[in-house]
């Protein structure tokens, strides 16, 4: 089923991009262009992404500053 009619992006493609690490509609847009034309599919993309595992989202939920991860790596 198509999620984005403007660019012919399917639900399966959005899910694959999410599995590959795209955590937000903006990252899905970067990977597939979905949501960059009329914007009518952005809510559907958000629904597909849900609240699944995302490293950045997990840090936000833990109230860890984004740069703290970089400090740990050094």
pLDDT at 46 (0 to 100): 92
pLDDT at 19 (0 to 100): 84
67: pLDDT confidence band, cut at 50, 70 and 90? low
| CA 56 distance to own-chain centroid | 11
List, as one string, the DSSP characters of 4-48: ETTTTEEHHHHHHHHHTT--SHHHHHHHH-TTSSS-TTHHHHHHH
4 Cβ neighbours under 8 A, 6+ residues apart: 32, 33, 34, 35, 37, 41, 45
| Mean pLDDT in residue range 12-17 | 92
Bigger pLDDT: 35 vs 67: 35
pLDDT at 22 (0 to 100): 87
């Amino acid at each position: 089923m198509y999620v984005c009619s403007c660019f012919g992006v399917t639900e399966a493609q959005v899910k694959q991009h999410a599995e590959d690490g795209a955590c937000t509609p903006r990252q899905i847009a970067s990977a597939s262009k979905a949501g960059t034309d009329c914007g009518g599919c952005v809510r559907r993309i958000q629904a597909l992404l849900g609240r699944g595992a995302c490293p950045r989202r997990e840090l936000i939920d833990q109230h860890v500053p984004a740069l703290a991860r970089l400090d740990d790596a050094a």
